Amino acid sequence: MRELAQIRVRYGCQCLFTLLRREGWPDNLKRVHRLYCLEGLHLRSKRPKHSRAAAHRLERVELQRPHQSWSMDFVADQLFDGRKIRALTIVDKL
């Protein structure tokens, strides 16, 4: 189980149990969970949440012509008489 956990770092107890079953191990889930905790495998190091999105970012593609990439956003404001106004702004990035 330790070898599988080192290969599949992000797998939890349930996924490791499924892999062990596929290999022919007859142990039940309770025993696998107990061994999983005794081995200290439940204390995997995880990335902080604020860097999770940055890990999967790709480099930006260089834009060649107009209408290739757009940005959109809602903006809100309040008029002089108290009425609220919302607008959708769409901008061509090139």
In whole angstroms, what is the distance from residue 84 CA to residue 77 CA? 6
Q: Residues of the chain whose pLDDT is less than 70?
A: 42-58
Give counts: helices (H), strands (E), the chain: 4, 2
Domain ranges of the chain: 2-44
pLDDT at 15: 86
**Per-residue burial over 34-65, b = 16 or more CB atoms within 10 Å of its CB, e = otherwise:** ebbeeeebeeeeeeeeeeeeeeeeeeeeeeee
What's the pTM value of the predicted model, to 2 decimals?
0.42
Tens of pLDDT, residue by residue over 60-77, are 788 888 888 899 999 999
